[in-house]
Amino acid sequence: MPDSRLEAFKFSMGPTDTTTTPNMEGLDRIPTCYASVSIGCKPEHTLPKKLDAIAAAGFQAIELGFPDLLSFANQHLRPGQQEGGPDEITNHDYDNLCAAAKVVKTMCDAKGLEILILQPFSNFEGWPEGSEERKDAWTRAEGWMRIMEAAGTDMLQVGSSDSPAEKIGKDRSRFVKDLQQLADMLAKKNFRVAYENWCWSTHAPDWADVWDICRQVDRPNFGLCLDTFQSAGGEWADPTTPSGVLEDGRSKEQLEQDWKASCEKLAKTIPPEKIFFLQISDAYKTQPPFENKEIDGTRPRGRWSHDFRPLPFAGYLPTVDFATAVLKTGFRGWFSYEIFDGGPEGKGKEYEMASFAKDAMECQKKLLEACSRSS
């Protein structure tokens, strides 16, 4: 693990006694990261240009998005070739993807950027024994480990599966077993798993779900990726209602109380060393609200996540509440910006990447100030 990443990891552990609320000291030492796949939305927004913008804004690391790596591999190893041509590099062409990852690592090294994590590894756990989906999941896991080694990162982000319940079921013990095996396989390379609740997940949409799974997995290299959007967007907000918040029979006052209680429970429950990093974003209220049904296999919150996630304070989620709760655990590790800002209508937004990345860095300062005030 690179020295700066190791220091950030050690510092993120903070106090281990979560029965009391630690103070807000050390906020100025929180390292910052930006998810490469979430900046730039046009073909000309290539990975090298993304790295330029992220580094110039002062971020210390990137989350390397697999789609970015795949696109870069085709641009770098097949210059001038037509997309979709016979020699196109595909998502299972691990020899070429590893070659591209080594180049990306060199570019990041030159700009003083670490590659914090490879993401997003999805729909891994729960497939039946002997199924083609299970075989593919493990093939992908082995291939992504090769990419991680080539890129010089020690962490894999795994999202809680959103595969259909009729295919993977909801037996948590099966998910735990699969994730234990994955953690053990990664441990052979001294790699870690950062497990994230996706608010549209089939079996683990809330932070409490992934924390319960993490405890049962019980591996030192298995921890959490917490996310302001995923938790607030699942427990408090709803893109299918006119109000933009959950309308499940509770009063707005009760919803707010329950949300605050959830944040307080997180602050007192999760040891800081089990939080591997925190992803940051807000959300726009969908107007009109989404229909409460799948479209092209994607659930409403999945569509919401893809295009309606601006910087904090540009939307309406209680991001400060959640970030404050994470800091109250004693966590002082990576804050990573994952911003999919398609504008309030989700149809796309014109922006210049360098300026946008600088706005994100300024937002980090504003967010920490707000957390300090609310603690």
Per-residue model confidence as pLDDT tens digits over 170-200: 999 999 999 999 999 999 999 999 999 999 9
| Residue the block writes with tokens 């998502």 | 91
What is the Cα Rg of the chain in Å?
20
The amino acid at 360: A
Tell me the two tokens of residue 21.
Answer: 């609320």
Q: Which string of DSSP letters, residue by residue, matches 327-350?
A: HHTT--S-EEE--EE-TTTTS---
Instruction: Record the tokens describing residue 84, joined without a space.
Output: 């979709």
pLDDT of residue 4: 45
How confident is residue 350, by pLDDT bands cut at 50, 70 and 90?
Answer: confident
- The pLDDT tens digits of the residues spanning 107-153 come to 999 999 999 999 999 999 999 999 999 999 999 999 999 999 999 99
Give the span between the Cα atoms of 298 and 98, in whole angstroms: 30
In a domain, 18, yes or no: no
Distance CA 315, CA 164 (A): 30
pLDDT at 7 over 50: no
**Residues linked to residue 35 through DSSP beta bridges, in sequence order:** 63
Question: Residue 3 has what pLDDT?
Answer: 46
Instruction: For 32-111, list the strands marked E by DSSP.
Output: 32-35, 61-65
Per-residue pLDDT at 21? 41
Number of domains in the chain: 1
pLDDT in tens, 260-286: 999 999 999 999 999 999 999 999 999
CB 114 within 8 A of CB 68: no
Indicate the average pLDDT of the chain: 92
Does a structural domain hold residue 307? Answer: yes
Please state the pTM of the whole predicted model.
0.91
* Higher pLDDT, residue 83 or 247: 247
Looking up residue 89, the CATH number of its domain turns out to be 3.20.20.150
Torsion region of 125: left, alpha or beta (phi above 0 gives left; psi -120 to 50 gives alpha): beta
pLDDT tens track for 59-85: 999 999 999 999 999 998 876 565 666
d(CA 186, CA 219): 11
Q: Does the residue 152 lie in any domain?
A: yes
**Which range of residues forms the domain containing residue 61?**
3-13+23-374
Closest CA to 189 of 118, 242, 290, 291: 118
* CA dist., res. 287 & res. 198, Å (int): 22
**Is pLDDT at 23 greater than 90 in this prediction?**
no
- Does residue 87 belong to any structural domain of this protein? yes
pLDDT at 351: 86
Indicate the pLDDT class of residue 12, thresholds 50, 70 and 90. very low
